[in-house]
């Protein structure tokens, strides 16, 4: 894929850059594998529960098979499709027994290719297998944190992790962030890098596209009055006037550790910040 640019016919078009997704299906998504998204986003009982979020453009949610638990049954890629709910593309798989499922499309996957999931399957992009059977150094994605729960790690566009070592009942996996963590050998993962590698080069071009995505504006604290934010107030332009930046509720925002699941620190071999 390549980056698609536009003629500067307007201010929004001048800076816009998109991924030139070729070969994607223009048909509507498969109805049995979709569902509607209900309720206002970022609201609860009429109050704001998540700042800077809104419903955005109306869209259908595609049910993705993150578990890849249809073992030892070969499936054919019927179509590659755009998914408005995620940065990566998805693939519609038609299995030999007639069942259809959506999966995350790895880079290089094409219509007509076959994929399979199982204990010992061919080493090929799109196939899924336990971490214990994946060779060291190959790119992987959609990694489980616990067996049978479904892939939770490395699912965004262009992401890929790699196995660095195997020790006892664990496999050492290097994440895209640089963190190295231990995962159980029985956890499933999919071979290959997630599709839409050029996603990082996308430029929206105008604020309206952010609103369509469900992202509301964010106002700087220094632009507010002192009753609304600790950074507010002052005559003319002024700095934050304090040693450490604060949230609207007076909590530190730089250097303040917020990680709560400290009991999982034992699985982290190398921290991404070091």
For residues 214-239, one letter each, b for 16 or more C-beta atoms within 10 angstroms of the residue's C-beta and e for the rest, the string is: eeeeeeebbeeeeeebbbbeeeeeee
User: Counting every residue, how long is the chain?
Assistant: 274
pLDDT digits (tens, 9 = 90+) for 67-116: 999 999 999 999 999 999 999 999 999 999 999 999 999 999 999 999 99
- Give the confidence band of 184 by pLDDT, cuts at 50, 70, 90: very high
Q: Write out pLDDT tens, residues 223-263.
A: 999 999 999 999 889 899 888 899 999 999 988 888 888 89
CA 160 → CA 11, 104, 133, 152, 187, distances in Å?
35, 13, 17, 13, 16
Q: Quick one: how many helices (H) and strands (E) in the chain?
A: 2, 19
- State the DSSP code for 167: E
Rg (CA), the chain: 22
| Domains contained in the chain, CATH given | 23-200 (2.40.50.140), 219-268 (4.10.950.10)
Paired with 81 in beta bridges are 90
pTM of the model: 0.90
């Amino acid at each position: 894929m390549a980056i698609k640019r536009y003629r500067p016919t307007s201010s929004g078009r001048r800076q816009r850059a998109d991924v030139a997704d070729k070969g994607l299906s223009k048909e509507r998504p498969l109805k049995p594998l979709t569902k509607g998204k209900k309720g206002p986003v970022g609201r609860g009982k009429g109050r704001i529960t998540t700042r800077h979020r809104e419903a955005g453009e109306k869209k259908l949610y595609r049910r993705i098979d993150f578990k890849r638990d249809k073992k030892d049954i070969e499936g054919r890629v019927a179509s590659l499709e755009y998914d408005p709910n995620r940065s990566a593309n998805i693939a519609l798989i038609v299995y030999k027994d007639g069942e259809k499922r959506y999966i995350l499309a790895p880079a290089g996957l094409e219509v007509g290719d076959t994929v399979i999931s199982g204990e010992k399957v061919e080493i090929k992009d799109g196939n899924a297998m336990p971490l214990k059977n994946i060779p060291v150094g190959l790119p992987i994605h959609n990694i489980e944190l616990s067996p049978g729960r479904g892939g939770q790690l490395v699912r965004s566009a262009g992401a890929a992790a790699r196995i660095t070592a195997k020790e006892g009942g664990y496999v050492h996996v290097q994440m895209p962030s640089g963190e190295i963590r231990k995962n159980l050998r029985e956890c499933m993962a999919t071979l290959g890098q997630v599709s839409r590698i050029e996603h990082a080069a996308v430029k929206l071009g105008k604020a309206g596209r952010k609103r369509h995505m469900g992202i509301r504006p964010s106002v700087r604290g220094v632009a507010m009055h002192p009753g609304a934010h600790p950074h507010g107030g002052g005559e003319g332009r002024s700095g934050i006037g304090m040693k450490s930046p604060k949230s609207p509720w007076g909590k530190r925002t730089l250097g303040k550790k917020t990680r709560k699941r400290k009991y999982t620190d034992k699985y982290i071999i190398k921290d991404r910040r070091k």
